[in-house]
Amino acid sequence: EKMIELIKNRSDIGAGTRGSDLGIDAIEIAAINKGSQYFINYPFVDVPTRNSSIYQNDNHPFAKHIQQIYEQCKQVASTVEDSLSSGNFPLVFSGDHSSAMGTISGIKSAYPDKQLGVIWVDAHADIHSPHTTPSGNMHGMPLAAMLNEDNIPCKINEIDESTQEFWNKLKRIAGPVGKILSNHLIYFGVRDTEEPEDLVIERLGIKNYRVEDTRQRGITDCVAEALKILEACDMVYISFDVDSMDSELISDGTGTPVPKGFLPREIVLILEEIIRSGKVICFEIVEVNPLLDNKGNKMAEVAFDILERITPLIEL
Ligand code: LYS
């Protein structure tokens, strides 16, 4: 039996639009409005943020706020590591998805000798490096850092020394570079990528279960295959970006909304089947942005409903 510990990481500086820091409290408000005791039932940790750094000049156009994001991820890593070392299940609530560099680094530093499998549920591949990013927003880069994959063949940006230095530091938070292997990374729902991402995904042979695939083959079949691919992994981390869901049918309360995504019940099924493997040691939910939600607090409400559904399985 695992004891859930909530980690609230209200950092939003890796996104192009502010406001995902408010996503965590929006989810909590959704819980309160539903009469749920969820957020008082579990112990929690607040991770201090560097969000005030948006007032400072930043000279890293191809990796915006990289220094503060590095410091933030270091702190997330040590929080996650502490949680795992105390025998807890870290349930991480983050603002923007650059946080995953901290979470993954923390897991690896708690279990340096174990292979980590990653299930990335997202509309985006988040596998740009500063050399290929079209936006400079670091929430589009966490997987490149964790894979130690700069994708130099697809380079389009000329990055400076300071960017390179912090990028290298990000890759080796709390341990050596190459936190995960490309054959231990599996996407669900990726459908909005740029060419350098398509090329690196193809070169590394990273598996993506598209929304259509899961509907044609069935979720159970796809997840079973994914778990087979991750057979050699002793532990699995699920990173759930809410933009994996259909922005038109569900909600656009997220920084980079994309239509034609999953429905909430499909997300629940995917997550449940993965958690049933018994290998999941950490779950993260990111990118709820209530300021962008045209349906009130819909995205946070949906996110909380999903969380409520999967939590009993985590606790088994
Ligand atoms: N690929 C785009 C970029 O790098 C979007 C990333 C969205 C991440 N949540 O800017």
**pLDDT tens digit sequence for 53-76:** 999 999 999 999 999 999 999 999
Cα-to-centroid distance, 139 and ligand 1 (Å): 6
Ligand 1 atom closest to residue 139's alpha carbon, by position in its atom list: 8
- Ligand 1 pocket test: pick from 62, 99, 128 the residue with the most ligand atoms within 8 Å of its Cβ: 128
Take atom 4 of ligand 1 and give the residue whose Cα is closest.
140
Report pLDDT for 1. 64
Ligand 1 close to Cβ of residue 126 (< 6 A): yes
Residues ≥6 apart with Cβ < 8 Å to 248:
259, 260
Report pLDDT for 316. 86
Cα-to-centroid distance, 193 and ligand 1 (Å): 8
Full-model pTM? 0.98
- Ligand 1 pocket test: pick from 96, 98, 124, 198 the residue with the most ligand atoms within 8 Å of its Cβ: 124
Ligand 1 atom closest to residue 122's alpha carbon, by position in its atom list: 9
Ligand 1 close to Cβ of residue 256 (< 6 A): yes
Residues lower than pLDDT 70 in the chain: 1
CB 83 within 8 A of CB 58: no
Report pLDDT for 158. 98
Report pLDDT for 2. 78
Distance (Å, whole) CA 297 – CA 303? 10
Report pLDDT for 160. 98
CA–CA distance from 177 to each of 14, 68, 117, 231, 234 (Å)? 21, 20, 16, 22, 19
